[in-house]
Amino acid sequence: MTSDAKNKTTKKTGDADSEKTAKKSPLLIGVLLIAVVVGGGFGGFTYGPKLVASITSHGDEADATAASEAESDPEHAEETHEDVTGKFLELENLLVNPAGSRGERFLMVSVAFEVPDDDALEHLHEREIQIRDAVSATLEACTLDDLTQPGVRDTLKQDLLEVVKPFSGAAAWVRVYLPRFVIQ
């Protein structure tokens, strides 16, 4: 057998191996992609809640520390109102398009306002339509970049507090909660 014949045979065998590898590559990529998606989903549903609970419990410790500091300082205790529970007005499932999203993205949020007494709650209920409009306008003014920044929930709570204060009558205090905050 001549060296040319050997080279041709080797070349044909190499080409066949290349074709087999090329056919296996998309299959391998598909299997790996499915493994990553399934593994990520499993981890998200299994370890995600544990991680969130861990982070939340650290936040509760910080709240407890702030409450104990408030007890030692009477002036500061009046400002926190952490030990006082009140009455709630909840605006559920508000759906807005963030600024600049051209209707392609949305924010679904529930906002709860806590006030100290029935009188303040009545003021909020009487002005609920105006409050919904003001809250929606505040949220629609935010861009997607604004809404995905770290600490944005605290900033939004403060902004929404300023929006609702005029509607709360003579309430001694108002707290804002965001029990649902979903960007899609």
Residue in 91, 83, 90, 92 with CA at minimum distance from that of residue 116: 83
- In the prediction, which pLDDT does 87 show? 93
- The phi, psi pair for 169, rounded to 5°, reads 70, -140
- In the prediction, which pLDDT does 150 show? 92
Query: pTM score > 0.85 for this model?
Result: no
Please compute the mean of the pLDDT values over residues 2-21 and round it to a whole number: 55
pLDDT digits (tens, 9 = 90+) for 85-137: 899 999 999 999 999 888 889 999 999 999 999 999 999 999 999 999 999 99
- In the prediction, which pLDDT does 17 show? 58
Radius of gyration in angstroms for the set of CA atoms belonging to the chain, rounded to a whole number: 29
Under 8 Å between Cβ of 147 and 134 = no
pLDDT digits (tens, 9 = 90+) for 133-177: 999 999 999 999 999 999 999 999 999 999 999 999 889 999 999
- In the prediction, which pLDDT does 177 show? 96
Contacting residues for 83 by C-beta, under 8 A, at least 6 apart: 67, 77
Rounded CA gap, 42 and 105, in Å? 26
Rounded CA gap, 84 and 174, in Å? 11
- In the prediction, which pLDDT does 52 show? 43
Under 8 Å between Cβ of 164 and 91 = no
Please compute the mean of the pLDDT values over residues 49-78 and round it to a whole number: 43
> What CA–CA distances, in Å, run from 64 to 58, 163, 177?
10, 28, 18
- Spell out the alpha helix ranges (H) of 47-143: 48-72, 74-80, 118-126, 128-140
Query: Which of 4-13, 45-54, 86-95 shows the highest mean pLDDT?
Result: 86-95
Residue in 67, 174, 173 with CA at minimum distance from that of residue 111: 174
Options 2.40.320, 3.30.479, 3.40.50, 3.30.2320; CATH for 84-183 is 3.30.479
pLDDT digits (tens, 9 = 90+) for 55-69: 444 444 444 434 434
Rounded CA gap, 164 and 157, in Å? 10
- In the prediction, which pLDDT does 18 show? 57
- In the prediction, which pLDDT does 127 show? 95
Tokens (6 digits) for 177: 């909660």
